[in-house]
């Protein structure tokens, strides 16, 4: 099942540079592992914002919830989720 997800990141002003760097590194490792697994299919930066739009390919909403809440930056993100289904006019066979 595909989900469009928008993540807006807002780190606390009081967070040290060192702590932010560690969080971002651990987040990157997790994000890249999920991409390698095929679960995080697209990851795009929104120009000019500390935000991304992503497409996840997971079994169900419960799996997506577990995955998102497990992200190191989760406490500092506002997340919007849109479930997707195949568009009848799409010519791409792998749209799920």
**Helix, coil or strand: residue 21:** helix
**CB closer to ligand MUC, 75 vs 95:** 75
Beta carbon of residue 86, minimum distance to ligand MUC (angstroms, whole number)? 26
Which CB atom, from 80 or from 95, has the smaller least distance to ligand MUC? 80
Q: Residue 33, Cβ neighbours under 10 Å: how many?
A: 11
Q: Measure the CA–CA gap between 65 and 43, rounded to whole angstroms.
A: 17
Nearest CB to ligand MUC, comparing residues 10 and 60: 10
Beta bridge partners, 6, equal: 53, 80
Summarize as ranges the residues that interact with ligand MUC (CB under 6 A): 7, 9, 27-28, 31, 43, 52, 73
């Amino acid at each position: 099942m595909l989900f469009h997800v928008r993540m807006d990141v807002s780190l606390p002003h009081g967070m040290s540079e060192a702590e932010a760097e560690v969080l971002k590194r651990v987040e990157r490792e997790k994000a890249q592992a999920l991409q390698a697994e095929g679960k995080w299919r697209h990851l795009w930066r929104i120009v000019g914002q500390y935000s991304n739009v992503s497409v996840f390919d997971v079994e169900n909403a419960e799996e997506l919830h577990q995955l998102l809440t497990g992200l190191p930056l989760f406490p500092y993100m506002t997340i919007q989720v849109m479930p997707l289904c195949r568009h009848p006019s799409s010519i791409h066979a792998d749209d799920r």
